[in-house]
Amino acid sequence: MQPPAIQLIVEDHQALATVLRALCAAVERAGRSGRAPDFGDLRAMLFYLDEMPARVHHASESELLFPRIRERCPALRPVLDRLEAEHERGESAVRELGHALTAWEVMGEVHRESFELLLKTHADTYLGHMEVEESYVLPVAVDFLSPADWRELAEALEHQRGELGASMAQSHRALFTRITTHPCPRKEQP
Ligand SMILES: [Fe+2]
Ligand SMILES: [Fe+2]
């Protein structure tokens, strides 16, 4: 069985990948139909992709998990440096996407393509980032970290997320449910 700290990270990844793919699919559907998307839905997805990594997931990795892996497997330090730099770039890419979405919404179809291009680049990059963590970093960590490391990490993660507040966790879950169950109705093109 996987250590609980890894399960938590993988569950975050699954939720983030689901929302990223839902956002790409909603944009693609709008493109195929030739109609404007429901911008409120797209904004909710982008908000999740901004909020969850920046306030929760990246903090768990950069402040807790990665420092312990750095200690136990020095050979992984260059990869961890790259992943941490990608956290920062990912957060600014999502903010840029928010700006590009506003341009599409308020200035019209002429801005659709640049949003689509930015989204595709971000989705490919971030899915690749999570793939490196899951296929390369976490398996090595499982080999090198001790049971005591995993126990301490599980406690630290629980504490970190507890500090962030139960209400935040609840609102992230509610937002995730809204995103994954909402039928994303599309408006007629004005
Ligand atoms: Fe990461
Ligand atoms: Fe991650």
| Ordered domains of the chain (ranges, CATH) | 4-181 (1.20.120.520)
Largest Cα separation within the chain, whole Å, is 60
Q: Residues 147, 151, 154, CA angle at the centre, nearest 5°? A: 135
CB atoms within 10 A of CB 41: 19
**Residue that the structure tokens 């903010």 belong to:** 95
**pTM (predicted TM-score):** 0.90
Distance 83 CA to ligand 1 centre (A): 6
> Ramachandran region of residue 145, left (φ > 0), alpha (ψ -120 to 50) or beta?
beta
Residue 83, pLDDT score: 98
SS (H, E, C) the chain: CCCHHHHHHHHHHHHHHHHHHHHHHHHHHHHHHCCCCCHHHHHHHHHHHHHHHHHHHHHHHHHHHHHHHHHHCHHHHHHHHHHHHHHHHHHHHHHHHHHHHHHHHHHCHHHHHHHHHHHHHHHHHHHHHHHHHHHHHHHHHHHHCCHHHHHHHHHHHHHHHHHHCHHHHHHHHHHHHHHHHCCCCCCCCC
Q: What is the pLDDT along the chain (190 residues), one digit of tens a residue?
A: 889 999 999 999 999 999 999 999 999 999 898 888 999 999 999 999 999 998 899 999 999 999 999 999 999 999 999 999 999 999 999 999 999 999 999 999 999 999 999 999 999 999 999 999 999 999 999 999 999 999 999 999 999 888 877 777 787 888 888 888 865 444 444 4
Distance 61 CA to ligand 1 centre (A): 6
Residue 188, pLDDT score: 43
Distance 44 CA to ligand 1 centre (A): 21
Task: Choose among 73, 79, 68: nearest CA to 154.
Answer: 68
Alpha carbon of residue 66 to chain centroid: 17
Counting ligands in written order, which one lies closest to the CA of residue 84?
Answer: 1
